Structures are given as structure tokens and as C-alpha cells.
């Protein structure tokens, strides 16, 4: 394998790793959505997804 190919593959792997979600879902979210009966259940689900969305936002470099 030549040097150019090696660094190209290394860069691609780096991008894939940086885009991976670090915290896997701890429970079956489809089941949790199906079982959400109360307002508190729905608010907890909304908070979970809002927190997940915030975590996936790009971080600002300072």
C-alpha cells in the first residue's frame, strides 16, 4: 500500500469515527414511545431526543 492511499484511508476512518454517536440508546426507544401514556412520559421522551440532538450538534472550537 502506498503512502497516499494509506493517508486517504486513515483520513476517511477518522471522519467516520468522529461522526459516530458515542452514547448508544440505553433502552428500546420504539417501545418507550409506544408505552408513553402520561404527559410526564411524553415530556421525558421529548427531553431525551432534545438532549440527543444537542449532543450531535457540532462543537465550536475556541
pLDDT at residue 48 in the model: 87
**Segment 9-57, tens digit of pLDDT:** 888 888 777 766 666 556 677 788 888 889 988 998 899 889 888 888 8
Domain residue spans of the chain = 24-56
The whole-angstrom separation of Cα 1 and Cα 11 is 15
- pLDDT value of position 24: 59
Q: What pLDDT shows up at residue 26? A: 63
- Structural element, H or E, at residue 55: helix 39-56
Q: How high is the pLDDT of residue 1?
A: 64
The pLDDT assigned to 38 comes to: 92
Amino acid at each position: 500500500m502506498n503512502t497516499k492511499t494509506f493517508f486517504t484511508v486513515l483520513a476517511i476512518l477518522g471522519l467516520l469515527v468522529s461522526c459516530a454517536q458515542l452514547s448508544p440508546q440505553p433502552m428500546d426507544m420504539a417501545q418507550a414511545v409506544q408505552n408513553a401514556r402520561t404527559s410526564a412520559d411524553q415530556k421525558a421522551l421529548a427531553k431525551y431526543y432534545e438532549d440527543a440532538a444537542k449532543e450531535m450538534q457540532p462543537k465550536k472550537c475556541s
